[in-house]
Amino acid sequence: MAVDLQHIAAHFLRWGLLGREFTVPELALAVVHAKQPSTNDPGRFVPVSNPLELDAAELEGLLAGLAALCARSRKRVDVASVLGEMLDEAYRRAGVLLALPQATSGGG
């Protein structure tokens, strides 16, 4: 699997994440970290054939990095729940998150 960053950014914008939860420069830094997770030193970056294409592991890293960024801006420490909220919102806006029927109380 490979996903183009322009496609991802368009969806982040459509879902209200890009521009509200994080900026384009912050997205760019998160992508660099996802593509080069072993170092923060640009002099040690390994050239890649397509820097705007993310594989599954890089996409996971990008989402985790963006969740950490959002958690920090919201002054929260629970990155996992922020990631869950981001994904819920994205899935809801994409129309793929279905509401579960409410459980009825009472003996039956």
105 part of a folded domain: no
102 part of a folded domain: no
The span from the CA of 20 to the CA of 8, in Å, is 15
28 part of a folded domain: yes
104 part of a folded domain: no
62 part of a folded domain: yes
Domain count across the chain: 1
103 part of a folded domain: no
100 part of a folded domain: no
Give the pLDDT confidence score for residue 104 in this predicted structure. Answer: 65
Q: Indicate whether 15 pLDDT > 60.
A: yes
- Binning pLDDT at 50, 70 and 90, where does residue 106 land? low
Q: Indicate whether 51 pLDDT > 80.
A: yes
Question: Which range marks the domain in which residue 74 is found?
Answer: 2-94
99 part of a folded domain: no
Both structure tokens of 53: 């294409």
Count Cβ atoms within 10 A of the Cβ of residue 29 and give its class: 0-12 exposed, 13-18 middle, 19 or more buried: middle
| Residue whose tokens read 């072993």 | 38
Q: What is the CA radius of gyration of the chain?
A: 17
